A and B are shown apart, each in its own frame.
Chain A
Amino acid sequence: MAPIVFWIFVILMLGFGLSVIVSRNPVTSALSLVVSFIALAALYVSLGAFFIGVIQILVYAGAVMVLFLFIIMLLDLRVEIRKRMNLPAVSGGTIVIILFIKILFDVCYSFNGGHAEFPAVSVATHGDVWTIGTMIFRYYNLPLQIVGTLILVASIGVVILSKRELK
């Protein structure tokens, strides 16, 4: 992919990501997150990971974000009240972020592997769904089962924490 397209999507993703945090209206935040996810999906596709790109749109931009919006509108959340800035916390946080970004840049520039050619994500004979499927079900089956348990615990937790009257 041409670098120019890469940069367009990166700027879209980061810009709307910033807007998620900065905007005070929860609906604006949620919709910005959708755009950010779509730009991220475009980046996945540009790396040849078509399946992950599609899943990103279907699951995150589709299901999860619609749920978010639904809940925000259901609860009728208003614009967030402006709080007084806690100066030590904000300045401390800014210093940490600046240092972190500086380290990240240093590491990225000195890191040689970043410029190397990586093998393609999808195998030409099978496609990337096949690759991911084999990986998950053959080599990472135990973690998959644990994720199942995790989802079970999470759903029990949701019932416990939200049901009006427990039996």
Chain B
Amino acid sequence: MSFPPALLELLVLCLGLALLLVESFTEKQDRTLLAYIGMVGLGVIFLILQLLPPGPTGMASYVFDPVAIFFKKFVVLTTIIVLIMSVDYATTIQRFVPGISSQAGLGEFFAIPILTCAGMMWMASAIDFILIFVSLELVTISFYVLVAFMRRNASSLEAGVKYLILSAFSTGFFAYGAAWIFGVTGNTNLVRIQQVLPALGAENYSAILFGALLVLVGLGFKIAAAPFQFWVPDVYQGAPTPITAFLSVGSKAVGFIVLLRVVQAFQSLPPVGDKVVAALIILAAATLIYGNLAALPQTNLKRLLAYSSIGHAGYLLMAVAGISARDSGQAVVIYLAAYLLMTLLSFLILIIVSNYADGDEIVNFNGLSQRSPLLAFGLLVAMMSLAGVPFTAGFLGKFLVFKVAYESQQFVLLALGIITVGCGFYYYLKVVRAMYWQSAASNGATIPVSGLSFATIVLLVLFTFLLGIFPQMATGLLR
């Protein structure tokens, strides 16, 4: 089949632009229709991705390898589920956006994530610092808008400003680092850099290392690794919940693919590559400790999930730090697949419950098992999987990460990982306790769930179990 893979992003882009045009030229149309069109369109893109074989693209800065295909499918799927969440969340958006008509601004709220998705797909394929930079900026700038979208909500605006300032700051580090690397190697292309590096003299090592570490700082902000995680709790809590889910799954995943490709490129020069790995080990240890310990006292589920997302970045960094092991890349991929299932599942249920209870504190989940057994069971599965209980996808991910750490002899990290998993059990099970052991508050009615969300919850629960029980399914993720 001669379908040029670079056309995929353009199709996604056209879909987003078409939705914007439909939005501006129709008056009375129900805006949620736009979200459904977006979901169907992205579904078609997902099918095309499923059929396309990896192969050469004829472009120096753009690859279409199995890893790129996996991440493209990953972000397309994430965007579809984010759109499903956004439809559920539409009433909250309407409350906080000033408008003449009742559905003001909703069309843009559904269309911008699709443009973000195109940026993320470009990042999945980019192997040139310039392409990485511009697509990273496309993703970040659309997130500035989305995070601050609820203009009448002070915490959403605060989150937007914090994200804008810290993200721009980290972009500065990334660009400065890339400039140093270009200055030494004369290349922005990661493949060319990998070829050029071994020939460099020892007097250049400190400059290369400096550039690599600056890039690492820039990416550390994007993937929310400690000590660059200060923005995470406030931004995640203030942003509209579907966008929080998008940030914590999509934005983190594309940060990791760039990190993998950059770290891989520096492995061709062991004196520098080893130091980059050492920096990754420190980052991973700090992230594991901070994310898991700070999550312990949280009483708000959205904030708890923010800290949990920092903790999971720590496990993922463990896998990246074990780059010398053969399965490092695969462990990252499978962990992210599991992370997508369980995180989006918890955010979807969080949106449904908090819409009804008008709050996202853990107290709002008290007695959920009596009110809505399905939602409670779904969140139970998500929490079990996030904690890493066997027979769920989360367990498989953690198992593979620990295996990589063992094979690459990172025993300190391995011990830290096992201890922090113990912490995880405490704070994830706190939510389960609220749902199953606490009695419900005054309004004990069943929470209404739309058909589409119901189907999504069932599918996500099913896949969480399938991936946990049949690990061989996971290896098929990277053809």
A residues with a Cβ closer than 8 A to B are 103-104, 106-107, 110-113, 140, 142-143, 146-147, 149-150, 152-154, 156-157, 160-161, 164-167
Contact = CB atoms under 8 A, between A and B. Distances in A.
* Ranked 8 nearest A-B pairs via Cβ: A157-B145, A166-B104, A166-B99, A112-B203, A111-B207, A166-B105, A143-B134, A146-B134
Interface string B90-109: 00000001111100110010
Contact of A149 (B13, B130, B148, B151): B13
A157 B141 CA distance: 9
By DSSP majority rule, is chain A's interface helix, strand, loop, or mixed? helix
B59 A103 contact: no
Contact of A150 (B97, B130, B134, B207): B134
Interface in B196-212: 201, 203-204, 206-207, 210
Contacts of B61: 142-143
Contact of B206 (A110, A149, A153, A160): A110
A106 B206 contact: yes
Contacts of B100: 165-167
B112 A146 contact: no
Given A143-B134, A156-B20, 13 more contacts: A113-B204, A142-B61, A142-B62, A146-B119, A146-B138, A150-B119, A154-B141, A156-B108, A160-B108, A165-B98, A166-B97, A166-B98, A167-B99
B104 A112 contact: no
Nearest to A147: B134
A127 B131 CA distance: 26
A104 B201 CA distance: 19
B119 A107 contact: no
Interface string B145-167: 10011010000000000000000
26 contacts: A103-B210, A107-B206, A110-B207, A111-B204, A112-B201, A112-B203, A113-B204, A142-B6, A142-B59, A142-B62, A146-B119, A146-B131, A146-B134, A150-B134, A150-B138, A153-B112, A153-B145, A156-B20, A157-B141, A160-B108, A160-B149, A161-B145, A165-B98, A165-B99, A166-B100, A167-B100
B144 interface: yes
